[in-house]
Structure 1
Amino acid sequence: MGTSFDHPKARGTLRVLQLAHARWQDVFSRLDGMKFDDLNGREEVAYLIRGPAVEFLMWARGLDDFCRGMPERRNGKLVPTQPPLAGYESARVQVAGLVDGARYATHREVHQLLALMEPKGAMKFPILPLAFDHFGGVQWLHDAHLPPANEERSGQLPLRQAYVDNLAGQKVGPTLDDLRAWFEGQLPWREGSSAGAPGPQR
């Protein structure tokens, strides 16, 4: 194990996370208010929005692992295999539900290919017969759409509960915003960093 936490690598990963978040914001802004139609029905919109969101969540999961010291389970306990970010584990308690819920969503989205995000329709005025035929955002699916709890691996159950308690039914965008802000707070940008300039703050 090395002797100190690798700040440049962590900040480089933070920069990649910021860029993924910017791609999410760009796709979302292009879809915002768009009418669902034959070319951009709800299913196609779900594909368009899912890619940058899952990319962001994967970087968030990787950065969380890195800041925790890439822990391995030994004798039932998580043990760092490299130097963790000082103070990260104790600070993480504040957002454990959000971070663990996002970890569950990432695992499901990538490994089980289970889409946990769905586009929501919104009303446009004047109200027409198809009142909710415009893109109005993206929500995390409710727990009723998850596989039964008894089919989960035991290690996933706490993460599943974190997802249910913190993400299910909520808007996806604020979740990503909060995760980005959390990591930026843990890894404040310093002038002269080799990873490039920080992205826009929200």
Structure 2
Amino acid sequence: MYEGPVQDLIDELGKLPGIGPKSAQRIAFHILTVEPADIDRLKGALQKVRDGVRYCEDCGTVSDKEKCRICTDPRRDRTRICVVEEPKDVPAIERTREFKGLYHVLGGALNPIGGVGPDQLRIRELLTRIGNQIDGVDVAEVIIATDPNTEGEATATYLVRMLRDFPGLSVSRLASGLPMGSDIEYADEMTLGRAMSGRRTM
């Protein structure tokens, strides 16, 4: 245990996901050795995240504008929507270069024990997007790309039930290639690419 500001910094860093006590201590002591200008840049970046980041009004991913670059890109296939749990899943799928459509970020997965039900997710917004045409184009396919774990599977099953009433809509799920219990953001490009290209209709 250290005293004063150093311990406060270690405590705050330790609250970040994936940062244990030793890592927090190592980062804190690294910050003590860097130039003041580096600390100012870090502080500025944190300030910008707090004040300048918003969520795309269409898909729900992080953006610095009302609509993200993917939703405003006229080259994207507006007939296909890939549904993911979190904004961090979008770049993971983009790195595969297998998907050229739009995204929809749910903001999590169903977890009744944790108090996350359908009303806490952006499911209603998804149904509205599919019901309304996107730039005059009907949505033909929804790809469910939730994490291959218990919550992700429950969310996928719920979405399939909600989407089956849309006439002519194809609903698919990422294929095998992603191990059960893993997170999409940690999958390598080849595994995720194969899962995307080999998706199956549900």
Same-fold call, TM cutoff 0.5? no
Higher relative contact order (CA 8 A, sep 6+): 1
Structure richer in helix, relative to its length: 1
TM-score (norm 1): 0.25
TM-score (norm 2): 0.25
**Highest Rg: 1 or 2?**
2
